[in-house]
Structure 1
Amino acid sequence: MSDLLTYAYAVVRDTEGLRQATELLRGVAGTQVHLVGADGDEPALVVSRVPAEDFREQALKQHLEDLDWLEAVARAHDGVIAALAERTTVLPFRLATVYLDDRRAREVLETGRTAFAERLALLAGHVEWGVKIYAEPSAVAETPAAPAAPAGELSPGRAYLRRRRQQRNVRDTAYRAAQEAAERVAAAGRRHAVDRVRHRVQQGLLTEAREATEATEAREATEASDRADVGGENVVNDAYLVLLTRCDDFLADVTDAADGVEGVRVEITGPWAPYSFAMPSEASYGTEQGAPP
C-alpha cells in the first residue's frame, strides 16, 4: 500500500507556461503541485501527492475535528487555486478530494473531460463573490411601544416578563430588517450576476469549517478561520457568479442595497475562483469511494 495519495485541487484549461508555473507551487502539506493529463488546450487536473496517513478516511474524520489542521489545509488549497486563477480558468474541487494515485486521477479526468471542458468555457471571465447577511439585534434600539409603569413599581416576575418582551420585540425587528435587506441585496445582485448559489447559513467556526469540506469549498473554511466571533446571526449565505467587467457595479449596488437598514450587517468577500459554480449540482467528482482505509 502506498504511503502517498493524490490530492486534487482543480481542473484547469492548460495554457502556455501553466505547467512550469504550476510546478513552482507548494500545496497541502508543503507538497509540490503538478498537472495530470495536460494536452494542449485540453482540461488538466492539478494535483499533489500527500501523506496517506493524514488523508485516509479514518484519519480525515479525526482531522475534521481539528480547526487548526483544517485552517492549514484550507489555506494551502486556496493558495493553489488563487495562483492558478491568475493564469487560467479554474474549476476548484472540494477540500480534501483525494484519489489512490495519479493514474486514478487521470481516469476521473478522462471520464469527465467533456463536462469539464463545457464548464470551463462557461466560467471563463467570471469570478465569485460571497454575500452574507447577519441579523444583529444588539444594534437595534429598544423602543417601547407605549408608556409603561416604571420597573421599580413592578413585581420581580412582571419586570422579568417585560424585559423578555422587549428583547423579543428587538429580535423580531432585527429579523424583519434582515429579510428586507436580503430582498434588496438579492434584487441588486440579480442585476449584475449571471448565477447565484444559496449555501447553508453558518453557525460557529468549527461547524463552518467542517461543513466547507462536506458541502461547499475551501473558501468557506478559509473565511471561517479569518473571522472572529463578531456577533450577529448569519441569515443569508449566498454566492454570486459575476463577469469581471460587471464587478464594480455589482459591488456598488449590493453595498448600497442594505444601507440604512438598522440591525443588519452585510459582508461581501471576494473575488474568488468560482468554487460554488465549478460543477452542476448533479455532478459529483468528490473524494473517491474505496480509498485506502
Structure 2
Amino acid sequence: MSGLRYVYAVCRPFGTPLPAQLTGVAGVPPKQLVHHDLVAVVGHVPEGDFAEEPLRAHLEDLDWLGATARAHQNVIDALTVVTTPLPLRLATVFRDDSGVRTMMQERKQTFLRTLDRLDGRVEWGVKVYSEPEPEPEPEPEPGRTGRTGSGRDYLRQRRNQRREHEEKWEQAEQFARRLHESLSGYAEDTRIHAPQNAALSRAPGRNILNAAYLVPRTESEAFVELVDRTKDDAPGLRVELTGPWAAYSFSGEDA
C-alpha cells in the first residue's frame, strides 16, 4: 500500500492479535512491522494529510487534531491489553518501512532498556480538585444607608472570609500530599505534572494534584481501591482516577 508510515508505538514481539475491527489514524487498521527483536505498530496514511506541509496546517485544526489523537489513543489502548507498548508522540511519520526500521535500529538499545523497565506495568493518573465554592452574597459597602454594623465589622468579616479560604486551601494541599505519599507506596515511579489549566481542561474547581504513577499490574487493584477509599475522606475536594494507560509519562518519549 502506498502512503506514509504512521508509527504508534514500539513493542517487543507479541502473539496475541489485535481486535480485527480496530482502526487507527485515517481509518486504517494498524499492522506490525518486525525488526529483529522489536516491533513497530504502524499504519499507512496519505501524504495529502501527513506530509510536512499539510501536517503542519492540520496541527492548527483542533477538530482534526482531536480526531487524530482519539484514533491514535484507540490503538495504544488496544496494545496495552496485549503487551507493553512504548508510545511514540502523536503524528510520528516516516516515508516508508525502511525509514521505520532505520529508526528502530538506531534507537534499539534505548527502546529495549525502556521496554524492560515498563514491562508488566501501567500508568494511572490521579487528580485532586477543590470543588468550586459558592459565590458569596454581595456585601453592602460600609457607610451605605441601611447598613447594620460599622465599617470595622465589615472589614472583620472580610478578614474572616480570607482566613477561612486560606485554611481550606492548606487542608486541601495537606490531603493531596498525604494521598500522593500513600499512592507512591504502590508505584515504582511517579511524576508530578503541572496543575491543569481550568480554561483548557474545562474541569470545575482548582487542580491541586496532577500526578502519574507507574504501577505493576499486580498492584493495580490495590492502588485503585486506595483511591476509591480516599474519595469520601475529603469533603469539598474531588479525586479523579484515570487509567490504566500505556506508560506515557515514563517512556522518555514526547507523548
Q: TM-score range by the shorter chain?
A: 0.7 to 0.9
The residue aligned with 1:256 is 229
User: Cα deviations across residues 221-277 of structure 1 (Å, max 9, x unaligned)?
Assistant: xxxxxxxx3410122211101111111211222333464333321111111121212
The residue aligned with 2:14 is 15
The amino acid across from 2:104 in the alignment is L
2:121 is aligned with 1:126 = yes
Q: 1:177 aligns with which of 171, 184, 190?
A: 171
Q: 1:103 aligns with which of 98, 101, 111?
A: 98
| TM-score (structure 1 length as normaliser) | 0.71
The residue aligned with 1:31 is 28
Cα 1:61/1:259, change in 2 over 3 Å: farther
Structure 2 spans left out of the alignment, 5+ residues: 138-145
The residue aligned with 1:195 is 189
Distance 1:90 1:9 in 2: 9
The amino acid across from 1:30 in the alignment is G
The residue aligned with 2:245 is 272
Give how far 1:179 is off: 0.9
User: Cα deviations across residues 149-202 of structure 1 (Å, max 9, x unaligned)?
Assistant: xx932689x96x678656644542342122112111111112111111122222
How do 1:26-105 residues align onto structure 2 when only pairs under 5 Å count? 26-39=23-36, 42-105=37-100
The residue aligned with 1:147 is none
> Which structure has the bigger radius of gyration?
2
The answer to whether the 8 A contact 2:198-2:204 is kept is no
Distance 1:250 1:141 in 2: 38
The residue aligned with 1:245 is 218
User: Cα deviations across residues 130-154 of structure 1 (Å, max 9, x unaligned)?
Assistant: 0111122517999xxxxxxxx9326
Give how far 1:70 is off: 2.6
Structure 1 spans left out of the alignment, 5+ residues: 143-150, 209-228, 288-293
The amino acid across from 1:176 in the alignment is E
Q: Secondary structure at the match of 1:86?
A: helix
Q: Secondary structure at the match of 2:167?
A: helix
Distance 1:140 1:178 in 2: 19
Cα 1:50/1:118, change in 2 over 3 Å: same
Distance 1:95 1:184 in 2: 34
Distance 2:136 2:117 in 1: 47
Distance 2:59 2:158 in 1: 38
Cα 1:23/1:260, change in 2 over 3 Å: closer
The amino acid across from 1:83 in the alignment is A
Distance 2:59 2:171 in 1: 35
Deviates more, 1:49-58 or 1:99-108: 49-58
Distance 1:167 1:4 in 2: 62
Cα 1:101/1:49, change in 2 over 3 Å: same
The amino acid across from 2:83 in the alignment is T
